[in-house]
Structure 1
Amino acid sequence: MKKITLFVFLLAFAFVNAQNDDKTTDKLSFAKGTQFVNLNLSLNTTNSDLNGAIQTQESRNFGFSINPSYSYAISDNFFLGLGLGYTTNSRENDLNGVLDNEASTNSFSVFPFVRYYKGIGKKLAFFVQGETRYSHSKNEVNNTNARTTNSFFFGVRPGLTFMLSKNIGLETSIGALGYTTSNVEDEGNNSESDFNSFNFSLNSSNLLVGLSYYF
């Protein structure tokens, strides 16, 4: 919910600036040959307690992700890029003050992408990013490698870029429309499964906020 609120705030901020920029004829544009490097970071922690008459339960969750990328404009406002990603999540559950179980997931990804910008203000541009993302993740429960997942995502992400200066841009995007295919190997029951889905998501897990350096 906090991430959604942040995105709405950024949208409102961008809209106000776009109205001010409309007083000029210039719109934000990126010339052929422009390059940028981008870094998206995400951190989240949660703690919950359940106190009952017989037992107490406590759950702790931690998540962190980093996604650096590089892109080059092959024509005005149209970029080709490549990104890498790493995500880690862990959860610990205590029962009556004693560790009951723990789980962790580590994921690595690579995602080539294309991005097109449309200026809507002197410092503001809307973009649509089409990407193909391959992810490899391992899930461990109580230090046992229980599940390995390989997945491909094909889809698009919309977003906004606001130039804080000539070279520094703040960007945000939320949601993804696309198709995902996954293969899951479960060592716990020695099984293998395939999953395919087509979905449109606006949840906070798909919110990306980062900084870009253009040169």
Structure 2
Amino acid sequence: MKYLFLGGLLLSAAAAQAQISADTRLLSADAGYSQTSRRQQLLPDNNTKYLVGQSTEVPLQLTGGYFVAENLMVGLQAGYTQRWEKAPTYATSFTGNTVSKLHDNETTSHTFSVGPAARYYRFFGPQLALYGQLGAGYQRQHAERLESNNSYQPPVQKAEGSGYYAGLAPGLAYFPIPRLALELNLRGLSYSRLELESKDTRSKTTYRNFDAGLRLRDLRVGLSLYLGRQ
């Protein structure tokens, strides 16, 4: 019991010495990659599942700020996400026992975001810390939809729009040296609203999304510099 008590005191002392002091400046960058697919059984008497949807997403984010108090950073974050989606169109025969693919519907979108951010750290020893990052702001998206069909020239449908976002993301920082950290973080809880306008029809569509990005595919890897840290 005595040794456990002493170990706890040493750990607390080490964590106290590892704080990030006020006036430190943060420069951080992280990136991720995720791919999801959906398969569906199209024939009632055949267990074969056909690909009906596939999406790939690559998010990038930059964060910069200033520590206004111990372990508390306030600053700005800017992000860019590229997303590819594929949704094949199938046809079944008159007899209902064969399936053929007609064409692929492909959508590519580019989303830019910028807004204020705040981050708070909780240290567990001199080299390891958990943090939570809160952010919100403005986002803009450009999307193109391509229908690949061999019988005619593929039409391209374009849409643009803007909206806002808000999110709370957890992260883990490892400090091999005091001014450099390797980070793992999750997309976390997020809400976004986008209003896209079609360039062809001028119709507008509003997208609202609330998500809990706490899965393995939501994992991101980052690197941070802590300039001026003592």
TM-score (norm 2): 0.67
For 2:22, give the aligned amino acid: K
Q: Distance in 2 between matches of 1:21 and 1:150?
A: 50
Structure 2: runs of 5+ lacking an equivalent:
1-6, 44-49, 91-99, 147-154
1:80 aligns with 2:81: no
> Could you tell me the percent identity over the aligned residues?
21
Q: How many matched pairs?
A: 195
Contact preservation (8 Å) 1:41, 1:66: yes
Structure 1: runs of 5+ lacking an equivalent:
1-19
Aligned to 1:171: 183
Q: 1:169 Cα deviation (Å)?
A: 0.7
Q: How does 1:65-214 map to 2 (within 5 A)?
A: 65-91=59-85, 100-142=104-146, 144-187=156-199, 189-196=201-208, 199=210, 201-204=212-215, 206-214=218-226
RMSD: 3.5
Against the structure 1 CA distance between its residues 203 and 148, is the aligned structure 2 distance closer, same or farther, given a 3 Å change threshold?
A: farther
For 1:165, give the aligned amino acid: I
Against the structure 1 CA distance between its residues 127 and 46, is the aligned structure 2 distance closer, same or farther, given a 3 Å change threshold?
A: closer
TM-score (norm 1): 0.71
Q: 1:203 Cα deviation (Å)?
A: 4.1
Larger Rg: 1 or 2? Answer: 2
Q: How does 1:1-16 map to 2 (within 5 A)?
A: none
Q: Distance in 2 between matches of 1:129 and 1:37?
A: 14
Q: 1:127 Cα deviation (Å)?
A: 1.4
Q: Distance in 1 between matches of 2:106 and 2:208?
A: 28
Q: 1:166 Cα deviation (Å)?
A: 2.2
Contact preservation (8 Å) 1:78, 1:114: yes
Q: Distance in 1 between matches of 2:197 and 2:119?
A: 34
Contact preservation (8 Å) 2:191, 2:211: no
Q: Distance in 2 between matches of 1:200 and 1:105?
A: 19
Q: How does 1:51-62 map to 2 (within 5 A)?
A: 62=56
Against the structure 1 CA distance between its residues 22 and 42, is the aligned structure 2 distance closer, same or farther, given a 3 Å change threshold?
A: farther
